[in-house]
Amino acid sequence: MSGLSLKVKITKLKVDGQWVDAKMCLQCKTYKPLDHFHNEKHGIGGKKAKCKKCRQHRYES
């Protein structure tokens, strides 16, 4: 869709009683802690747009 922009922001997510920084994966649309994303120098929060699980699934296909 032309002109459609999804703005991903860093947010807080409660994991095991602790608040951690999180963001939404652009593929599975699930909010996950930042440690569920690979590093990306220029990415939001210094992380890639897709989570590790989604990226792994891409290469298994």
Write out pLDDT tens, residues 11-48. Answer: 999 999 999 999 999 999 999 999 999 999 999 899 99
Whether 2 maps to a domain, the answer reads: no
Q: Which residues of 2-36 are buried (b: 16+ CB within 10 A; e: fewer)?
A: eeeeeeeeeeeeeeeeeeeebbbbeeeeeebebeb
d(CA 44, CA 15): 20
Whether 35 maps to a domain, the answer reads: yes
With cut-offs at 50, 70 and 90, classify the pLDDT of residue 49: very high
Whether 4 maps to a domain, the answer reads: no
Whether 3 maps to a domain, the answer reads: no
d(CA 61, CA 21): 30
Whether 6 maps to a domain, the answer reads: no
State the residue range of the domain holding 54: 11-60
Residues facing residue 22 across a β-bridge: 11, 33
What's the rounded mean pLDDT across residues 3-18?
Answer: 82
**What CATH number has the domain bearing residue 45?**
3.30.60
- Count of structural domains within the chain: 1
Whether 1 maps to a domain, the answer reads: no
Whether 1 has a pLDDT exceeding 50, the answer reads: no
Structural contact between residues 10 and 31, judged by C-beta atoms closer than 8 angstroms = no
Q: What is the pLDDT of residue 20?
A: 96
